[in-house]
Structure 1
Amino acid sequence: MVKVAIFDYGAGNIFSLKSSLEKNEAEVDIITDLKKIKNYSGLLLPGVGNFDPAIKSLDTSKIAFHDLVKNQVPVLGICLGMEMFFERSEEGKLGGLGILDGEVILLPNKFKIPHMGWNDLQIKQSSVLLEGVKEGSWVYFVHSYRVKPKNDGIIKADSDYGISVPAVIENQTLFGTQFHPEKSGKVGSIMIKNFLRVCKK
């Protein structure tokens, strides 16, 4: 059984993610200090909360986070968790983790914010996280922002809202989804399984 950690930055509402991981036979702990990450085969940054408070909660763990990425410990960032990988966000004033080049920008004002609902995935290139996921599969989004990477090559799937929204990013052992796989039924479960398989290697 693979052992993974969910980093809790105080937003709560991470039960569904923990439950989804456990249903896929993972042992899961919720942690608030990344110095303990050596005990785990993978890390998840959940998707609920606001940018600045979430970044602040990682202040004492930023070096540890950069180290685990350097050491290729698999990390899955969900929604806000993925947005924190980048250099900055229009949601906050603080800098992001800066693991990936780019920024996070507000969805256009023609959308009701937050955007909530099911949208289909347009797969752009092969991806470890998307193995077994069919083109056009539907997943569940709740968000007000979208990522804008400097390197489009890390975008593995997007979703068309009339604008193209990056939905899945992947860079070596760093994975991110703008949607919530833990709330996306069987399709989301496939991705959770794929992530845990990477953690087992």
Structure 2
Amino acid sequence: AASIGFGPGRWAADFGVGTGNSAVPFLQMGGRVLGVDLTPAMIRSGRRRLAGEGLARGAHFVLALCERAPLPDGAVDCAVCRNTFHHLAAPGEVFGEMARVVKPGGHVILMDHCYPDDAAGRARIEEIDRVREPAMVRILSLKDMRALFAERGLEVVRAESMSRRDSFENWMAGAGTEAASVPLVRAGVERLRDEGGSWMAPEGEGAALTVLRWDALVVGRKG
């Protein structure tokens, strides 16, 4: 939020606001956030979470499809979406709405899990990930994300992928993987470990099994 000059008097639209994680830094900077989400339960959770952190005053919510955000063109200074795009059947439509509602000179921020650019690497990991998280539609690569910005004529001012090593158990918990599917996912990860060369780079075994988790951040400016 600070890196794009966000602060008091400014508005951000949070697409797929969920529990409000991505809204927090914008509210802490003294701005206001309009959270868009299709799920009433998630909006209730977001309200509770932000109220508990003393940030409710600047937080506003609307129940709506992200593909049809109820905002006029150029209504906000920033549009952000975090860890939602891999659940979307039409990510291009949602990104188009994000770009539409931002004022000229404003910013669009996209954060999500990411995959390698090469098709073979993607297929190996996706086979496992679809068992781990059935609600996943498609995880984009950093190249895919940059293409969304280019298609809408946005200037990319920052683009990076980041990795962190995490335990297999935490990786399962993060997706809410069903207990019956955990052994299948573990077997797939162990196969990648034994074959080597995977972008996920599994290490260890048993309770010490770990994987690399990758995320991407792309920030664009609207002309």
Q: Same fold (TM over 0.5)?
A: no
Give 1 or 2: higher strand fraction. 1
Which is greater in Rg? 2
State the TM-score, normalized to the length of structure 2: 0.33
Give 1 or 2: higher helix fraction. 2
State the TM-score, normalized to the length of structure 1: 0.36
